[in-house]
Copies of this chain bind each other. A is one copy, B any other.
Amino acid sequence: MQIALLLFPGITPLDAVGPYEVLQRMPETSIRFVAKEPGAMSDRDGGMQLVADASFDDVARADLLLVPGGFGTRALIDDVVTLDWIRSVDAATDWTTSVCTGSLLLAAAGLLDGRPATTHWLHRDLLRELGAVPTEQRVVTDGKYVTAAGVSAGIDMALELVARIHGADLAQSIQLAIEYDPRPPFDSGSPDKAPAEIVDRLRRAAATR
């Protein structure tokens, strides 16, 4: 299986690395790290850099396309070259997937028109404006289009993909290999569970950015 993983400046690293860590454990899988301009891609915040070693021209097709999110997606929503590449690769994929605000790019490319999809909880309105039908599930599957909610949801999405592609046995084996037995110290991971004042604070911060 050939996987194309889109990288860009302003990516949220965990959006890419969560599903990467699961998907790369599938047999006979090769992953390309693709960017408009290859090189080291920084996130906006903490200075981590992930390396893209392939250009759009280098990777014209893939069985699975993975588009992660991050603040850098805003600059790409109307980037014709990036959206054209996404559409072109999507034309031959078995699976077209996103994590977090990566779905904004799939939607901007016209791939989610009228489809149920998800994104980071703070950006569901923008996903709707771009033509998709936001839902509150953590992972949304509509045919070959699979979108995950914010950041960490990509791990859950990737395990679901492995189960669909190779079956439950391999998905369970990979879950055990990455010891994914989550025990967050709080139950604050979604806006319907977190304290209301924390939800409000994040909404206000996002609105002023």
**Could you tell me which residues of chain A, from 163 to 209, have a CB within 8 Å of some CB in chain B?**
163, 168-169, 171-173, 175-186, 188-191, 193-195, 198-199, 201-202
A150 within 8 A of B: yes
Known contacts being A40-B40, A50-B49, is A193 close to B181, with CB within 8 Å? yes
What residues of chain B lie closer than 8 Å to A156, measured between beta carbons? 182-185
Supposing A31-B48, A50-B48, A185-B160 touch, asked if A151 and B179 sit within 8 A by C-beta, the answer is yes
- Chain B: minimal CB distance from A130 (Å): 19
The answer to whether B171 touches A191, judged by C-beta atoms less than 8 angstroms apart, is no
Of all chain B residues, the one with the shortest Cβ separation from A195 is B172
Q: Taking the full assembly, how many copies of this chain does it contain?
A: 2
Are B178 and A191 in contact, CB atoms less than 8 angstroms apart? no
- Of residues A33, A150, A168, A172, which shows the largest number of chain B Cβ atoms within 10 Å of its Cβ? A172
Instruction: Judge whether A46 and B31 touch: CB under 8 Å.
Output: yes
Contact: A172 with B159, CB < 8 Å? Answer: no
**10 interchain residue pairs of minimum CB distance:** A24-B46, A150-B179, A181-B189, A172-B188, A182-B182, A49-B51, A151-B178, A14-B21, A17-B17, A181-B190
Q: Apart from A33-B49, A49-B53, A151-B178, list 20 A-B contacts with CB within 8 A.
A: A13-B20, A14-B178, A17-B18, A18-B18, A31-B46, A33-B48, A51-B51, A149-B181, A152-B155, A152-B178, A152-B179, A152-B182, A171-B188, A173-B188, A173-B198, A173-B202, A175-B189, A176-B189, A176-B190, A181-B189
